[in-house]
């Protein structure tokens, strides 16, 4: 599966990132997808497309390919990639016009960005904590933290 993410559309739709600068929005989305992309979307390759130019037109961060649209719109890049891609393609966006263009091409399904972020909410645990893996920490990180608390804090403060 290839996931094509409408970068700024997703970050501007997310209450957690919309007030950030454009650079901070990009970093937040790319970091989130690099750490939890498979858990949020499923198995596959993730490409985030942003409007505009950057020093490196295409880069890879972890498992996420990051592209900038250059002189054309991110929507045009996404429609072209969705049309030319072999295999299953899912476009993640809240842009109604882009959704219609992708569906009209008949090659990809569309997933609303609000669905993408709703899907990442971790399940509640009995102690009310999030699992370390949801923050990108390795297995056993919580145990290490508890051991450090015993060493550094008096009386388990």
Torsion over CA of 12, 91, 98 and 113, rounded to 10 degrees? -30
Taking residue 59's Cβ as centre, other Cβ atoms within 10 Å add up to 13
One-character DSSP codes across 90-133: EEE---HHHHHHHHHHTS-EEE-HHHHHHTTPPPP-TTS---GG
78: its two tokens:
């996404």
Q: Is 153 helix (H, G, I), strand (E, B) or coil?
A: coil
Residue 125 has pLDDT above 50, yes or no: no
Residues 130 and 124: beta-carbon distance below 8 Å: no
pLDDT in tens, 23-35: 999 998 998 898 8
Hey, where are the domains in the chain? 2-118
Considering only CA atoms, which of 119, 122, 114 is closest in space to residue 15?
114
Find the helix or strand (DSSP H, E) in which 61 lies: strand 58-61
Considering only CA atoms, which of 9, 29, 1, 7 is closest in space to residue 90?
1
pLDDT of amino acid 72? 92
pLDDT of amino acid 139? 67
When the pLDDT of each residue in the chain is averaged and rounded to a whole number, the result is: 81
pTM: 0.72
Q: What are phi and psi of 16, to 5 degrees?
A: -75, -20
Distances (CA, A) of 24 to 17, 31, 86: 8, 10, 32
pLDDT in tens, 28-76: 899 889 888 888 888 999 999 999 987 445 688 888 999 999 889 999 9
């Amino acid at each position: 599966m290839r996931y094509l993410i409408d970068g700024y559309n997703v970050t501007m739709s997310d209450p957690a990132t919309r007030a950030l600068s454009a650079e901070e929005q990009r970093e937040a989305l790319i970091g989130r997808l690099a750490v939890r992309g498979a858990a949020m979307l499923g198995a596959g390759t993730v490409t985030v497309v942003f409007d505009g130019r950057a020093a490196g037109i295409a880069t890879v961060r972890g498992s996420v390919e990051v592209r900038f649209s250059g002189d054309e719109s991110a929507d045009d890049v996404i429609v072209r990639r969705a049309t030319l891609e072999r295999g299953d393609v899912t476009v993640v966006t809240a842009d109604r016009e882009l959704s219609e263009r992708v569906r009209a091409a008949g090659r990809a399904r569309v997933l609303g960005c609000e669905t993408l972020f709703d899907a990442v909410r971790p399940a509640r645990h009995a102690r009310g904590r999030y699992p370390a893996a949801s923050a990108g920490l390795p297995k056993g990180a919580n145990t290490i933290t508890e051991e450090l608390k015993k060493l550094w804090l008096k009386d388990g403060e």
